[in-house]
Amino acid sequence: MRKIPTFKLIPEPVTDEARRLPGFKWAADDVGKRHQLGGPPARPISDASWPRCPDCNGRMTFYGQLDSINDEFAIADAGLIYVFICLDCNEVKAVIESP
């Protein structure tokens, strides 16, 4: 399994509708700011839970994570979407990680 270096992603609202969205009322200060490519997942994943490629059965590479946007667009109680890829087979898997 290859590891991708960490890149911070900073979402930038493109439309007026996106700019008008309210923030979080009750979430911790870092919620909504944890978007990233590569690096380690925000929360540790056990070896038994780490996704494996359905084609080659190899351990998939953590590609990145997407954070909740606000209270209206919260992922599983201010959770994250983790994205994994097998760089050999081009298979992907997304997993919701919730606190």
Digit-coded pLDDT (tens) for 15-31: 999 999 999 998 889 99
Q: How far is 78 from 84, CA to CA, in rounded Å?
A: 20
* Mean predicted confidence (pLDDT) in 9-17: 96
Q: The tokens 């690096």 sit on which residue?
A: 39
CA dihedral 7, 4, 86, 95 (to 10 degrees): -50
Q: Whole-prediction pTM value?
A: 0.90
The predicted pLDDT at position 11 comes to 94
Q: How far is 2 from 60, CA to CA, in rounded Å?
A: 9
Tell me: the pLDDT tens digits for 55-96?
A: 999 999 999 999 999 999 999 988 999 999 999 999 999 999
The predicted pLDDT at position 50 comes to 95
For the chain, the domains span 1-99
Question: Residue 1: is its pLDDT beyond 80?
Answer: no
